[in-house]
Amino acid sequence: MKNMIPRDDRVSTAYWTNAIEVLTRSVEEFRPFSHRFRAEDVRAGIIRTTANFDNALFLLGARYSAGHPASELADDVASVVTIWETWNQYAAQSADGFPLDPLTFDDKPPYYYALWLSSVARCVGVDPDVRVRMIEIVTAGGGADPVLGTLLGIEPVRDSVWHKRPFQNLLTAAVGEPARAEAALLRYVQAWEKNISFIWWAPALKAVQGDQFETYFGYWAWEAAGLVVARGLDDTALRASPYYPADLVDGMQDR
């Protein structure tokens, strides 16, 4: 991590170094099961794939927090998409005494993860085939609402946001006229930490004691940056927020 300045200084540079080492090692250890469906050992595949889903998402976040170039996140997006696909393959199979539910947007966390991936992809750019695969997992999850539709550039299958609480302001940001959209997005970002409190890792920063990785991978409102880029909104008011990943937007404007 030489010559890199962390974007998140809530923890030490040494913490980010350790986080990336731990998460990279974990992703690679479980990759044979999480990045390819293993019909011969569904139980082991389920265990490793569910673990690696979090590992790969956290690695994406930790890389950004540590100061890695935003362009590197495209590979992490593709990795998570692959794991999501594998998860759904395992969910379609039966493992004795070890069932796995598919990732659907009836639950808030999968919906939020879809927002996260779609937003980063919109900001950093991904290969066309990765975008197509993202659309496929969104379809499998229940289909795009107007927020996901705006981020992915596709027609939504419903008019309402998947979860009014806490995402109603994102709906306004996705479809409202610019002034209303910008105001709604500011309200969302100002309440961001409360908005994502339903996810199990939300209080992770409180567990950090030193330089060893403790689940915390950075707090970033990826979805805000994604909507700014997708709609060309003015993000001046958002830039004061510690949760707003401004250089994702800046990098998109520079390309």
Please write the tens of the pLDDT for every residue from 35-93.
999 999 999 999 999 999 999 999 999 999 999 999 999 999 999 999 999 999 999 98
**Looking at residues 239-252, what average pLDDT do you find?**
92
Distance spanning both ends of the chain, measured CA to CA = 25
Question: How confident is the model at residue 99, as a pLDDT?
Answer: 85
Q: What is the pLDDT of residues 169-197, one digit of tens each?
A: 999 999 999 999 999 999 999 999 999 99
Question: How confident is the model at residue 117, as a pLDDT?
Answer: 98
How large is the greatest C-alpha to C-alpha distance in the chain, in angstroms?
Answer: 55
Query: Cα dist. 92→88, 89, 202, 203 in Å?
Result: 6, 5, 29, 32
**Looking at residues 20-35, what average pLDDT do you find?**
98
Q: Is 141 a residue whose pLDDT tops 90?
A: yes
The tokens describing 20, both together, are 């990336």
Boundaries of every domain in the chain:
13-254
> What predicted TM-score, i.e. pTM, was given to this entire model?
0.95
Residue range 13-254, CATH number: 1.10.3920.10
The tokens describing 147, both together, are 């927020």
The helix, strand and coil proportions of the chain, stated in percent and rounded to the nearest 5, come to 65, 0, 35
Omega of the bond prior to 128 within 30 degrees of 0, cis?
Answer: no
